[in-house]
Amino acid sequence: MRAYFRSIAGSLDLGNQTYNTLLFVVSIGFSVLMLKLVTSYLPPAEYGMYQYVLAMVGVASITVMPGVGTILSAYVAKGKHGVPRQLTNFSLKSGVLGLLFLASATVYEYAVAANGRAAALMGCATLVFLPYSVYARYEAVLTGLQQFRELLLVRTLLMGLQFLAAAIVLVMLRQDYVSFGTTMLTIQTVMYWQFYLLAAGRLRNDEISEGAVRHAVVVSGVDAGGTLLEPALQLYVNSALGPSALGVFVVAKRIITQAGGIVKPLMKPLSIKLTREGRTTHRRALIRLVPLALLLGVLQYVCLLIGIALLGPMILGPSYHVSLEYAKTFGFILFITPLYVLLGNYMVFEGRNRAWAASVFLEQGVRVVGYLAFVGSFGIIAIALVNVASLAAQIALMMFVITFRRPATAMIPTVEQG
């Protein structure tokens, strides 16, 4: 047992994990403040309309290869510092299709749906779409460079500016969701541009990878279903149940996202470090970390229940209290999220592309079938349970591949391969 814990300790990257854990704590603080502000000053119907526009942006984002953000950290960690620019240029070109999609949606809202306010916010989203969608991924570049201290400072600044602006718009000026949404999109776009400038200034060479664009297309293609499923689900909830239900649904999901947010800060530095040490070391350490990941999942869910009981009614406005009950069911996924993040990082960072694709398609297939079979009869609760079942299926397949299947050649060369 002592040898087991020594092996675990040797895999950790305590300095960077400390910075990332601090970022998680700061994020939780600002998220709580923002939830209190939004649920107190925006009715569920208005918040739902804001989320409807963001869902349309999510659909359009498929054109900028959302999988790029997943692989950038690994390329940069392995010294391929020209890859971010290589993939960014490709994404800016392909993203023109998303721009046209949002422009068409803006015209539809104004001319057909006769919803001038939604059209105004959709128009703002169209204007900022490319920098908003593309430059956000430079956070992954900073991660690959192990610039976690700088990431902590910039993310804290972004969240602080967002909260201050939201307070001015909603509390002082008493504006609606259009002004709120326009302000949030603008601030995020400006700060993502700062991510780009900060990260680009720390890239030390122009070395690219001939397979980088192909790898990004493959990963984005694999992730396409998952990328589209979430905004498509939100659009369905908005259409079938109305914007008020969408607002309540999104708040419940937001609680779970924040509660599980500590997983990536803890796991990402660890995965980056193990990637640098080579595939064999990464695989062996991963298997040793499985029990620890499951234990972390149990602790997450216990903390979620305690937080909901003690703080939930104080954080959310009265019209959003039903979100707390939904959050308890959505929270079941926290039991397995840490293990999923560890396994997913290994599959992507080590180029296990076919196995990764198979696991993602399995997860997406289970979700689609589950949504079609159960959501119509059981509503939002069914969404939560289907999400857990689909992620468990993906984890089972990844564990089988990692444990029993011989690795294929990685598209990103490992340290061992040079």
For 228-287, what is each residue's pLDDT tens digit?
Answer: 888 988 988 888 778 998 999 999 998 888 777 667 666 666 776 776 666 777 777 788
As a whole number, the mean pLDDT across the chain is 84
Q: What is the helix (H) or strand (E) element at residue 17, kind and residue range?
A: helix 14-41
* Res 85: pLDDT: 87
* Res 369: pLDDT: 92
> Is 411's pLDDT higher than 50?
no
- Compute the average pLDDT of residues 197-209: 85
> Is 119's pLDDT higher than 90?
yes
- Compute the average pLDDT of residues 60-78: 81
**More confident position, 418 or 210:** 210
* Res 82: pLDDT: 86
* Res 269: pLDDT: 67
* Res 357: pLDDT: 82
Q: Locate all alpha helices (DSSP H) within 135-206, ordered by sequence.
A: 138-144, 148-167, 177-200
- 255: Cβ–Cβ under 8 A, 6 or more apart, which residues? 35, 304, 308, 323, 324, 327, 330, 331
DSSP 42: S
* Whole-structure pTM value: 0.76
Please tell me the distance from the alpha carbon of residue 70 to that of residue 324, in angstroms, as a whole number: 31
> Is 414's pLDDT higher than 50?
no
* Res 415: pLDDT: 28
* Res 148: pLDDT: 78
Positive or negative: CA dihedral 293, 228, 225, 98: negative
Positive or negative: CA dihedral 183, 184, 190, 191: positive
In angstroms, the Cα distances linking 281 to 20, 286, 311, 416 are 23, 8, 42, 10
Positive or negative: CA dihedral 396, 401, 402, 408: negative
pLDDT in tens, 324-346: 999 999 999 999 998 998 888 87
> Is 4's pLDDT higher than 60?
no
> Is 139's pLDDT higher than 70?
yes
Return the minimum-mean-pLDDT range out of 171-180, 242-251, 312-321, 405-414. 405-414
